[in-house]
Structures are given as structure tokens and as C-alpha cells.
Amino acid sequence: MSFVFDRWGDPDGNGTFGRHPFGGEVAGHRTFDGVTIPSAGRVGWFFGTDRWPAGEFFRYRITDLELVTAAGR
């Protein structure tokens, strides 16, 4: 699964702000206490373009999750 949208920013760091492609890929899902979440993936600038490899800046993997209810705070 993937997602993409235009995000305001200056991904090149040259002082030129504007809307640029931003997005990512969900690489896995896990279920914790009956709740399924995207548990692994990566995100960054220029998703879906030839600049995506350089624009990727965040990878995540969730290995544990503790669900808290409003009553359990």
C-alpha cells in the first residue's frame, strides 16, 4: 500500500518553498490486542518520482504497542 500527496516545504533546502510530492509505502501490518495498524514503512519527499530514493528520510517498524483507553489514563 502506498500514499502520495502534495506537501508544502523546501525539500531541496534552497529557500524555495512550494508544493512537492510527498508520500510513502506501508510495508507491513500487525495486530495488537485486536487493533491492526501499519507496522512498517518508509516516507519522504518526491514519492513516485525518480527523486524518491534521495527524498526518503524516515523508516519505521513498530514491534510493540500498548493500547491505552480513556478510562486507563
Residue 11 has pLDDT above 80, yes or no: yes
DSSP 15: S
What confidence score (pLDDT) does residue 68 get? Answer: 86
pTM of the model: 0.76
The backbone region for 52, taken as left when phi is positive above 0, alpha when psi lies in -120 to 50, beta otherwise, is alpha
Residue 57: which domain range?
Answer: 2-72
Residue 61 forms beta bridges with which residues? Answer: 40
The total of structural domains in the chain comes to 1
